[in-house]
């Protein structure tokens, strides 16, 4: 199968402008995401999709592959779809699965990518999957930057929210506090179809793209990972993640030309 990853990234983040090039342990965040993604056993290639020349120049500098996209995209999936079609045109080959990896997830591991892709690789009926992991504290559970998810008995997503779900107010002793991890493999045709679907009320209310899949009657397969990662939404998150990554073993394997 031809499986690629696309990392959508832009400098104009409302909460943290310029964050793709913000340094963590001496390396721009987008560099960590790209170089760690390249280690996945399932991926044939990894691309960064961006509308910003600064990001293009950096990825070129480290010998990576980058696709210039329009600056009008509001959603990562739109940018990923544009990049997908441009990549197919350049390599003259169709892609089977495209893995959308958020550029603000510098702690991802290649094993996490492999775990997310495997269900689509093994089961043709699965159109899209997400990783999920445990929330480790009440503070994280209540943080609106953490997208919470509840699942059915087959680990298909029932609902995503930035609010704390499920309820902790009914006296249950054990609450499954799970969060979405933004490594999202799509079947090629389903990604294009997803972007043609009408945005949905709960998607807009929750500001979570995967709600559109559920509201249109499709399933999102959720895969649990034991890896503990944190995304970067603010300068405070950057400091926290840098502290956690100081002893990261994968960093030592990065190409020396990546700084």
Look up residue 177 and give its two tokens. 């506090």
Residue with tokens 């960590």: 32
Flag whether 92 is in a domain.
Answer: yes
With beta carbons less than 8 A apart as the criterion, state whether 112 and 226 touch: no
Q: Is residue 99 part of a domain?
A: yes
- Where b means 16+ CB within 10 Å and e means fewer, 43-56 reads bebbbbbbbbeebb
Length of the chain: 259
Domain with 68 in it: 3-229+236-252
Question: Is residue 157 domain-resident?
Answer: yes
CATH of the domain at 14: 3.90.550.10
pTM of the entire predicted model: 0.92
Instruction: Answer yes or no: is 150 within a domain.
Output: yes
In this predicted structure, what is the pLDDT of residue 247?
87
Residue 259 resides in a domain:
no
Handedness of CA 126, 196, 10, 56 (dihedral sign): positive
Q: Which two tokens stand for residue 28?
A: 């721009």
Q: What tens-digit pLDDT sequence spans the chain (259 residues)?
A: 999 999 999 998 777 889 999 999 999 999 999 999 999 999 999 999 999 999 999 999 999 999 999 998 888 999 999 999 999 999 999 999 999 999 999 999 999 999 999 999 999 999 999 999 999 888 999 999 899 999 999 999 999 999 999 988 777 778 889 999 989 999 999 999 999 999 999 999 999 999 999 999 999 999 999 998 888 988 899 999 999 999 888 998 875 545 5
> Does any domain span residue 42?
yes
What 3-state class would DSSP assign to 42? Answer: coil
pLDDT in the model for residue 85: 97
Residue 166: asked if its preceding bond is cis (omega within 30°), the reply is yes
pLDDT at 252: 84
Is 179 a domain residue? Answer: yes
Assess if residue 257 is contained within a domain.
no
pLDDT score, position 12: 85
What pLDDT shows up at residue 259? Answer: 53
Q: Would you state the pLDDT for residue 257?
A: 47
Note the pLDDT of residue 255.
54
Number of domains in the chain: 1
9 neighbors 50 (Cβ within 8 angstroms) = yes
């Amino acid at each position: 199968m031809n499986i690629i990853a696309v990392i959508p990234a832009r400098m104009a983040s409302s909460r943290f402008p310029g964050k793709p090039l913000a340094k963590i342990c001496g390396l721009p965040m987008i560099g960590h995401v790209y170089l760690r993604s390249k280690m996945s056993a399932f991926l044939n290639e990894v691309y960064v999709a961006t509308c910003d020349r600064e990001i293009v120049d950096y990825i070129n500098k480290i010998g990576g592959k980058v696709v210039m996209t329009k600056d009008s995209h509001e959603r990562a999936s739109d940018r990923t779809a544009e990049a997908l079609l441009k990549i197919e045109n350049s390599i003259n080959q169709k892609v089977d699965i495209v893995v959308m990896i958020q550029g603000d997830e510098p702690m991802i591991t290649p094993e996490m990518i492999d775990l997310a892709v495997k269900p689509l690789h093994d089961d043709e009926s699965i159109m899209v999957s997400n990783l999920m992991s445990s929330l480790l504290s009440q503070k994280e559970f209540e943080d609106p930057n953490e997208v919470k998810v509840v699942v059915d008995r087959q680990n298909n997503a029932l609902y995503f929210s930035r609010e704390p779900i499920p309820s902790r107010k009914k006296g249950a002793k054990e609450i499954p506090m799970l969060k979405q991890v933004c490594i999202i493999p799509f079947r090629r045709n389903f990604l294009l179809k997803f972007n043609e679907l009408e945005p949905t009320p709960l998607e807009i209310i929750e500001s979570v793209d995967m709600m559109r899949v559920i509201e249109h009657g499709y399933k999102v397969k959720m895969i649990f990972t034991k890896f503990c990662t944190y995304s970067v939404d603010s300068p405070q998150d950057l400091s926290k993640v840098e502290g956690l990554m100081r002893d990261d073993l994968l960093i030592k394997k990065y190409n020396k030309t990546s700084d």
